Amino acid sequence: MKKINKARLAVLSTITMTVFAFIACSNDEESIDEVTSTGELHAAFAEFDTDETSIYLSGSNVVIETTGNPNHTTVYWGEGNALYKEEPNVDLTPSIIPNYDASATLTVSQNPQKASSPTSTSLGAIGIAISGAAIFNDQEGNGALDQAAASLDYTGGHIGPQEYHYHLEPKAWTEDDDKLVGILADGFFIYGRKCNSTGAYPTDLDASGGHTSITQHNTETEYHYHIENELYNNQYYLIFPGAYQGTPSSIN
């Protein structure tokens, strides 16, 4: 008899707890959105230039708004501009940064996940660098980047038919180190050729140059990319010749 009573009690208390939990859930329904949208921005976002970018949470997403303009010197600012840098060896494309409205917005999950299969990148911006300017892939107008190599400035950027953008390791702030480069359209961060977790070139990268480890911005492990540590055309490092491992959002 005692055993049966205990069993009944257990069943009863389970039901009671379920009912309470249900009531608690329905009462809290409205505050769930508030809880997720009052989370904190990932520490890596503090590296983005605050003059060029505006970054904030919206529900469970992060919104990155950028002027699209780089916060550093380049020949592409044009003579007379405070950030103009003379680069006589650059085969200039016929335009300058102030002639473009390069502003863009990217909205990604605050907690991006890897997708079940990779997604190829396409022409146009594939990410936003901490400088404010766009990150492009390893193609130039659907052709090999070599054709446009002469027009790239000291930091691997140029103006193609579109706004100023980087194809190569942006030496204006990262060269053979573990600095943050920016964020890609799938919400994952991309770092320099070295990883802060070991201080060395990572040896466990997937086909997209990504792996899961701690970073200088997270004591918990998280998936992130690195600039490809392989010389392209015997002279430079491509930022991201691979495919997205997450689900890309549009940058526009």
The footprint of Zn ion (CB under 5 A) covers 140, 160, 195, 202, 213
In the complex, the smallest distance separating the C-beta of residue 180 from Zn ion, rounded to whole angstroms, is 11
**CB closer to Zn ion, 14 vs 198:** 198
Q: Give yes or no for a contact between 47 and 192, defined as CB atoms under 8 angstroms apart.
A: no
| Nearest distance from C-beta of residue 225 to Zn ion, angstroms | 8
CA 186 to CA 249: how far, in whole Å?
6
Residue placing its CB nearer to Zn ion in the complex, 106 or 145: 145
Quote the tokens at residue 151. Answer: 């027009």
First to last CA, the chain: 71
| 37 exposure class (CB count in 10 Å sphere: 0-12, 13-18, 19+) | middle
How far apart are CB 116 and Zn ion at their closest, in Å? 22
Which lies closer to Zn ion via its Cβ, residue 36 or residue 213? 213
Q: How, if at all, do strands 61-66 and 157-159 pair?
A: unpaired
Q: Give the shortest CB-165-to-Zn ion separation in angstroms.
A: 6
Nearest Cα to Cα of residue 192 among 169, 212, 208: 169
Closer by beta carbon to Zn ion, 140 or else 169: 140
CB nearer Zn ion, residue 72 or residue 158:
158
**Closest CB to Zn ion: residue number:** 195
Minimum distance between the CB of residue 212 and Zn ion, rounded to whole angstroms? 8
Instruction: CB nearer to Zn ion: give 61 or 208.
Output: 208
What is the closest distance, in whole angstroms, from the C-beta atom of residue 143 to Zn ion in the complex?
A: 10
